[in-house]
Amino acid sequence: MIRIVAAALHLLALGLGLGAVLTRGNVLREPPTADSLKRAFRADNLWGAAAVLWLATGLWRLFGELEKTTSYYVANHWFLAKMGLFVLILILEVMPAIVLMRWRAALRRGESPATFASAPMARRIALLSHIEALLVVAIIFAACAMARGYGIPGPAG
């Protein structure tokens, strides 16, 4: 039963995160207003929480050896591709995270979005959000390949 719970939480995190990052991107394509930024911040919070759950359940499944051994995963090309894509998402997320933290603080101080949130920066974060969503989809394809036994070095992989 623990394997099912770990796998289900991992997949739920993926789905929640994908929806959240797409929502954040869509909202930030709008002109920055207090209302639109609050909606973007809620989506960003969900994206962050999903990423933490995704990472925690992934590490649990990797090192807990719930389904396969750790050595199976680290030798699997599709697993390594998944991890590379995940790291790329983390790298792409640095700038949006910093900017959105600054915007949250400014909004909490009562500043008008017109004074701190530029539309071009919001659109840049929207574009990065949509790129991150595409990378999540690519991770799904890599996970499907891995789950079907592809990626193992040797004749079968």
Q: Is the predicted pLDDT of residue 1 greater than 60, yes or no?
A: yes
Structure tokens at 45: 């919070």
pLDDT value at position 152? 86
Number of H helices, E strands in the chain: 6, 0
Q: Is the pLDDT of residue 156 over 60?
A: no
Mean predicted lDDT score pLDDT of the chain:
94
pLDDT in tens, 16-72: 999 999 999 999 999 999 999 999 999 999 999 999 999 999 999 999 988 889 999
Residues 6+ apart with CB under 8 A from 114: 32
Structure tokens at 117: 């949130």
Of 14, 40, 11, the closest CA to residue 25 belongs to 40
| Mean pLDDT of all residues in 132-146 | 96
Using alpha carbons, select from 45, 61, 67, 58 the residue that is nearest to residue 14.
58
125-130: average pLDDT: 98
